Amino acid sequence: MPEVVMPRLDPLMEEGKIVEWRKREGERVEKGEVIVIVEGEKTTFEVESQHSGTLTKILRREGETVKVGEPIAIVGEEAEKPEAKPEPREEVRRVEVKASPIARRLAREYGIRLEEIKGTGPGGRITKDDVLRAARKRGLLKVEEKVRKVPFAGIRKAIATRLSPGFHQALPVALMTEFDAENLIRHRERSGKPSITSYVVKAVALALKKHPEMNLTLEGDEIVYHGEVNVAVGVDTPKGLMAPVIRRADEKSLKELTEIIDGFQERGRRGEITVAEQEGHSFTVTNLGHLGVTHFTPIINPPDPAILAIGAIEPKPSVTSDGGLTVRRRGHLTLVFDHRLIDGAPAARFLQTVKTLLENPEELG
């Protein structure tokens, strides 16, 4: 019988996690119809059946992690008889299963079918405690109920795989500076409040055009210098950090950049950022300033040579030209670069250009 196997959904993928079966055993499926949702190395994918027929057997349950190429289900031929379908009584039981939302989530995480759990809630409803009790019986829960264990897989493992070379192979050096943000804040008020990240992305893009020695990537044993300026932006999502790319960022207006970044954040919350959108960058910008962080040293995002961290803008005492004291708002920047590819002086000149552009935002367009 034809098998459905765990597909390789992106180049780094070695295994995938079954998130949700869209079809049940015994149901008919058509070629090209989505039958299962899989979490790959960077994002979630819909997997289509390669055959038409009956889903005769589900081999791996929701919550299980499966190696690429291993079978996860069997689809019978179109001519197969109805006996491959489960008995009507089993289908009715599945439809009538009652469970709380948290119980359903825990059952998925532990890979336990709700049909196999006896509910103790009102009307036989399955509760959180019922799922945890079943998990303990199966040896899946060996700690207190307030602590749970899940496989180190999916997006967390993908982040580790992607960023480890940026820490273990690169020679990271950090440069920190502050910039006077008063002009930027006023410019922002006059311009419809573009995001702070958009200002920094535009400043970085223009600085990369001025300092082409920074616009490179390390690809195997080759250093590749790029003509286009493609900047990745760190996006916080429920599944972890992603870094979609803004193509030709130097050609975008602040308004366009803000719309693109806002779109990334919204789609990130919905889990819709694709693998392709996170490829083809030569520099990365990440922002924790809105969380009150002033300085941090992020890990370089391979194959980039550097990453710029945006810290919080906050009021600070400042010395005036006549020696007096005043209070001005100042922003914080940290440039982490790979010393294998870039020396300290060029990196410092690049950072100085970014600082100057942010202090003169009218030059950003």
> Which amino acid is present at 165?
P
Residue keyed to tokens 């929701």: 62
Residue type, 42: K
| pLDDT tens-digit series, residues 232-288 | 999 999 888 899 999 999 999 999 999 999 999 999 999 899 888 999 999 999 999
Could you give the residue numbers annotated as active site? 339, 343
C-beta of residue 246 within 8 angstroms of C-beta of residue 252: yes
Q: What stretch of H or E contains 132?
A: helix 128-137
Kindly report, residue by residue over 273-292, the tens digit of the pLDDT.
988 899 999 999 999 999 99
Please tell me the number of Cα atoms within 13 Å of 104 on its side-chain side. Answer: 8
Both tokens of 65, joined, read: 């992690």
Domains assigned to the chain: 3-137 (2.40.50.100), 158-364 (3.30.559.10)
Give the integer Cα–Cα distance in Å for 105 and 131.
10
Q: pTM surpassing 0.75?
A: no
Instruction: With cut-offs at 50, 70 and 90, classify the pLDDT of residue 331.
Output: very high
pLDDT tens for residues 153-190? 666 566 666 667 666 677 999 999 999 999 999 999 99
Beta-bridged to residue 17, according to DSSP, are 39, 65
Q: Is the peptide bond before 194 cis (omega within 30 degrees of 0)?
A: no
